[in-house]
Amino acid sequence: MTTLHEFKLPAIDGAVTDLATLRGKAVLVVNVASRCGYTPQYAGLQKLQAELGPRGFTVLGVPANEFGAQEPGTDGEIQSFCETNYGVTFPMLGKIVVKGPGQHPLYQWLTSAAAPAGDVKWNFEKFLINGRGEVVGRFGSGVAPESAELRSAIEAALG
């Protein structure tokens, strides 16, 4: 795979998400977890979605349980948690493996196409994708959604 737009994955509601529908949008792909110290970042991610969505931006939440087993729930439980606690409206994929044995091809691509390349280190790591589906930024878990560093990179990706 060479762009984000070539992937199709299960959505959190069981439907198929064809990432080709995101062509032309700046996308922030984030591996998320419901029981992590970074879980409150959902609020900042939702704020980015609300503010920048109308300009062609979307967050794409990717539940994963590889780090401290901090996402043990089913897709339905995760969806309910996100909607109830954070009012999440951005697209959420079904839970996948983002690191190690069974790593999903999406994360094989993201972690090799990003600079720096390499495994995801923890929950709430962020990959910024431009409208052509190319990885243009990678941000660690400690980079908050409201940070100037992330915001300026998203603005650049939006053009």
What SS3 state is found at 35?
A: coil
CATH classification for the domain delimited by 4-158, as one of 3.40.50.1820, 3.40.50.2300, 3.40.30.10, 2.40.30.170: 3.40.30.10
> Which among 138, 143, 141 has a CA at the least distance from the CA of 157?
138
Q: What is the pLDDT of residue 56?
A: 97
Q: What is the pLDDT of residue 89?
A: 97
Alpha-carbon distances, residue 130 vs 25, 67, 136 (angstroms): 7, 27, 6
CA distance 52 to 154: 9
Alpha-carbon distances, residue 10 vs 54, 121, 143 (angstroms): 25, 23, 27
Q: What is the pLDDT of residue 85?
A: 97
pTM of this structure: 0.97
For this structure, is 82 an active site residue?
A: no
Of the candidates 36, 43, 143, 144, the residue annotated as catalytic is 36
CA distance 44 to 54: 16
Q: What is the pLDDT of residue 99?
A: 97
Q: What is the mean pLDDT of each run of 10 residues along the chain (159 residues)?
A: 92 96 98 97 98 97 97 96 97 97 97 96 98 97 97 96
CA distance 84 to 79: 8
Q: What is the pLDDT of residue 1?
A: 64
